[in-house]
Amino acid sequence: MTDITRDVVIVGAGVSGLTAANELVKAGKTVAVLEARDRVGGRLWTREIDGAMLEIGGQWVSPDQDALIGTLEDLGLETYSRYREGDSVYIDADGALTTFTGEIFPVSAETQREMERLIGVLDELVAEIGIAAPWDHPRAKELDTITWKAWLEAQTEDQEARDNIGLFIAEAMLTKPSHAISALQAIQMAASAGSFTHLVDSDFILDKRVVGGLQSVPIALAEKLGGDVFLNQPVRRIEHDDDSVTVVADGMTVSAKRVIVAVPPNLYSRIDFQPALPRRQHQMHQHLSLGLVIKVHAVYDRPFWREAGLSGTAFSPYETVHEAYDNTNHGDSKGTLVGFVSDETADGLFELSEEERKHRILTSLSHYYGEQALTPEVYYESDWGTEEWTRGAYAASFDLGGLSRYGADLRTPVGVIHWSCSDLAAEGFQHVDGAIRVGRETAAVIADELNA
């Protein structure tokens, strides 16, 4: 067992923990980052599978994500645009396929009007409630105790409009069923991206990718820290008092003045805090859980859909794969599609054999792109639910009533223990941008405390 001493110890080498560590080093503090896995990056993981470079976790960058864009610039990483030339595809409840351009799905004029009206209502609510403290808004409790599903039902009788607007938040963002999240949580998700309109606009929200993969960010951040990042060190115990902390991992112990727990909040209870955390944290942490999504990658000898004038962008709340995109790598002659299977649909698929699941998913892709989609050269399903140090995807959100009840305390330190993660962010909530923002803010608070 190695014993070391630092100013600050960071639990978790995801992008949030690594950002905080780098900021603290810039502020003249010594750090140690303890990571459970044998790699850095957490939910960012760029891997080669059967010769194909795949983004197993997070990958897209949108133009409002200043913190991430600034980090990419600082690290000298380049971006490229997602392929988006040509028509998008929509499949309705009857299985009918229509192509379209722009953001609004090709539905009847009446449904289109309803969708546009709902987007307008949501944009207004987002502007009014804001992202800094949605729990402080006078309507917070009212909106947090009604499900996203029930809220949509109260707004319109148009089922297809509800299904489509619901999809943008439930299946596509929070990756939980619309009956399991509150309207306030949906509004917070939209506010974290600037507006509901931004979420609907895939050209905005899924704008760019990083050459070499988004895991290049945590890898580069870890390299800057040199020997202060320790892999294969799951933290089991945190002993803390008024001004010091001892963090015990499998192969080492770090004594420090502060600790940053930079892991998703669903994993806090895996750590034995001594003394135990206060009642409010114990309760709050039980109301936060990760959603579930299967991210599917299918690589073909060429991007065949482009020959048919398709952009690769496809949506349907009625399909197994509810959204899919051209995910061809920069400068690659092979064509890659990426699709997503969310929450309860994913549960159903995990009941099947691997072969049957693959068949169902590829059949769904073939509904969008034709028969050629059935025979990829490389096929891979990212399954974060089986990852011990994540346990779901994309990120954590509150159950009904949780955001208004606990939101204000999400990041409140407990003595020398601080929290940092994309799932605790305001702007960039559940995204890499948010992970960086929270990492920077947490580091700044600690540097000030230690300098006082």
Residues that bind ligand FAD (CB under 6 A): 11-17, 34-37, 42-44, 57-60, 234-235, 262-264, 267, 270-271, 295, 382, 384, 389-390, 393-395, 421-422, 430-433, 435
- Residue with Cβ nearer ligand FAD (71 or 111): 71
- Residue with Cβ nearer ligand FAD (327 or 364): 327
User: Do residues 68 and 432 touch, judged by C-beta distance below 8 A?
Assistant: yes
User: Do residues 407 and 135 touch, judged by C-beta distance below 8 A?
Assistant: yes
Measured CA to CA, the distance from residue 195 to residue 421 in angstroms comes to 22
- Residue with Cβ nearer ligand FAD (39 or 360): 39
In the bound complex, which residue of the shown chain has the CB atom lying closest to ligand FAD? 14
> What are the CA-CA distances from residue 449 to residues 23, 82, 243, 424, 428 (Å)?
14, 43, 11, 21, 26
DSSP 55: E
Closest approach of ligand FAD to the CB of residue 29, in Å = 19
- Residue with Cβ nearer ligand FAD (73 or 128): 73
Measured CA to CA, the distance from residue 383 to residue 239 in angstroms comes to 33
Structure-token match 């470079």, residue found: 53
Closest approach of ligand FAD to the CB of residue 270, in Å = 6
- Residue with Cβ nearer ligand FAD (393 or 416): 393
User: Do residues 10 and 260 touch, judged by C-beta distance below 8 A?
Assistant: yes
**Which two tokens mark 95?**
């299985």
CA angle 350, 353, 355 (to 5 degrees): 115
Closest approach of ligand FAD to the CB of residue 84, in Å = 15
Measured CA to CA, the distance from residue 123 to residue 92 in angstroms comes to 25
**Which two tokens mark 380?**
């891979």
Closest approach of ligand FAD to the CB of residue 121, in Å = 26
Closest approach of ligand FAD to the CB of residue 257, in Å = 19
Closest approach of ligand FAD to the CB of residue 429, in Å = 9
Measured CA to CA, the distance from residue 288 to residue 423 in angstroms comes to 10
Closest approach of ligand FAD to the CB of residue 194, in Å = 14
Could you count the other beta carbons within 10 Å of the beta carbon of residue 179? 13
User: Do residues 7 and 205 touch, judged by C-beta distance below 8 A?
Assistant: no
User: Do residues 7 and 256 touch, judged by C-beta distance below 8 A?
Assistant: yes
Q: Considering only CA atoms, which of 238, 262, 420, 136 is closest in space to residue 410?
A: 420
Closest approach of ligand FAD to the CB of residue 349, in Å = 15
- Residue with Cβ nearer ligand FAD (367 or 431): 431
- Residue with Cβ nearer ligand FAD (140 or 393): 393
DSSP 181: S
Measured CA to CA, the distance from residue 277 to residue 56 in angstroms comes to 34
- Residue with Cβ nearer ligand FAD (256 or 262): 262
Residue type, 188: Q
